[in-house]
């Protein structure tokens, strides 16, 4: 299952981006069929990056991922989802 297949039938996103043709640097749309696959890959990538770049890089990545997570939560709420507790 691809991420675009997770959109409920009859629901169309209102935006300027056609996510079915977006050009990504990786094949996440094909590779991540479950959220556990996603979290495993991100965790492995983070650990490898930190091993190569050290604690300053770890802090920088964590800060950026937190900002992305907050943006995703806002979008989920806008679409009618429930609040996410990050604590």
Q: What is the pLDDT of residues 38-68, one digit of tens each?
A: 888 889 989 999 999 999 999 999 999 999 9
What residue has token string 């300027």?
A: 16
Under 8 Å CB-to-CB from 42, ≥6 apart: which residues?
Answer: 65
Local confidence band at 33 (pLDDT 50, 70, 90 cut-offs): confident
Measured in residues, the chain has a length of: 87
pLDDT, residue 60, reads 96
Boundaries of every domain in the chain: 3-78
What does the alpha-carbon distance between residue 32 and residue 23 come to, in Å, rounded to a whole number? Answer: 16
């Amino acid at each position: 299952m691809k991420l675009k297949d997770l959109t409920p039938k009859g629901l169309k996103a209102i935006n300027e981006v056609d996510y079915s043709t977006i050009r990504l640097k990786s094949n996440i749309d094909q590779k991540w069929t479950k959220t556990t696959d996603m979290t495993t890959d991100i965790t492995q990538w983070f650990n490898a990056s930190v091993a190569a770049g050290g604690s300053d890089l770890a802090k920088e990545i964590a800060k950026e991922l937190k900002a992305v997570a907050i943006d995703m939560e806002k979008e989920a709420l806008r679409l009618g989802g429930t609040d996410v507790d990050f604590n």
